[in-house]
Amino acid sequence: MKMYKYTLYMKKVYTWLTKLLRAMAELAGLDTLIIGTEAGRISREIAAGNINANTIVTSEQFSAADKLVTGKMLAGLVDHTQLSAFASLKDIEKLAKEAHALETASVCVNEGRIRDAADILYDLTSKVKVCCVIGFPLGAATSHIKSYSAVDAVKIRADEVDMVINVGYLKDKDTKRFKEDIDRVMFHLWEYTSNHKKNDVVLKVILENCYLTSEEIVYATQTVAKLAKNYLPTRNHSGLKVFVKTSTGFGTPAKGHVPKKDYGKGMVDTAVGAAIEDVYLMRQAIDEVTKVTRHGDTPSDTTNQDDNYKYVVGIKAAGGVKDRETALKMMVAAGCLIRDEQTSEYKLRDDYKDLFRIGASATKEICK
């Protein structure tokens, strides 16, 4: 009994100290979210307007991407999406048939439609995968519910799972619960797929950037990248492939894609979907954490290279990607384009499919 009372007392002390430290940090104007130095610098440059969509993707890069990327290649990066609350079986059948004809990466549906989509694609002998969303669109469900939903989705026949973060935890700077919410889903997915020898499962973590400052975007992205390291492929298991996703497309500030106007000065209320600046910032944040070494890279400084960090976390741009031009610019911002050392010409990375995905319903327009 004494030990129990002592434990309760220590928990209260810890809670009180945590609140005190946060209050002191706010009064002192200090950042309580720890982010990488380079990604932090880039976020400030974006906030100051020194980095924007036009500087991120040059006309030369866009022209190169336009020549290199065919409509079929773009289709292979798309999660063809139908997440309407009133989507009927006919809507899901239409979605699956379109995805099969276009050869998209997946169809993305709500949990209750996983089996329907899987059955239709099976009958079509399609290679298109089934993706579903959990904790959608608010991310406010408990971590237990999210992790159960993720495993249940895979049991039902989902190949990929898109989960929404708890935005409130991030806004509170409650880093402990924020990390645990994501890590619990990662762990239970990895555990289930390991035990059942189900390989190639993909988890995409949705940040809902329209509610976040640039600092929060960097912190959330780097948190996901750090956690992903724990679930890398092993000799007996293919591991968990992880993406960080920009948006649900259901955010309340606005409808459709609107460029960000006030980066890093509080909650951004002008954009609901993917922004080129977001995608670029997320790629810089990921690469700073993972110190990625990919085929074709020529890093200027490899002295701090860590072999354990040679892995890729992908980015999924979702919400407002409705045409080929936007998709290509997002693709460049995500780091899919590099210069060839021999010819100095731009080329696609060999692993571009691991680097980038698009969540969209306007797939036909994107793949023209």
Point out the residues that are catalytic.
Answer: 162, 245, 316
First to last CA, the chain: 70
Task: For residue 335, give the nearest of 290, 256, 281 by alpha carbon.
Answer: 281
Task: Decide if 281 contacts 319 (C-beta within 8 A).
Answer: no
Can you tell me the distance from the alpha carbon of 181 to that of 148, in angstroms, rounded to the nearest whole number?
Answer: 12
Q: Which of 229, 228, 225 is nearest to 308 (CA)?
A: 229
Instruction: Give, as one character, the DSSP assignment of residue 345.
Output: -
Phi, psi of 32 (to 5 degrees): -100, -5
In this structure, which amino acid lies at residue 64? A
Q: What is the DSSP string of 179-227?
A: HHHHHHHHHHHHHHHHHTT----EEEEE--GGG--HHHHHHHHHHHHHH
**Element (H or E) spanning 23, and its range?**
helix 2-27
What does the DSSP 8-state code read for residue 5?
Answer: H
In terms of Cβ atoms closer than 10 Å to its own Cβ (0-12, 13-18, 19+), residue 71 is: middle
- The token pair that represents 70 in the structure block: 């065919």
14: burial class by Cβ within 10 Å (0-12, 13-18, 19+)?
A: exposed
Query: Residues 149, 154, 155, 157: is their CA dihedral positive or negative?
Result: positive
Cα–Cα distance measured from residue 172 to residue 211, given in angstroms and rounded to the nearest whole number: 13
Alpha-carbon span 111 to 345, nearest angstrom: 44
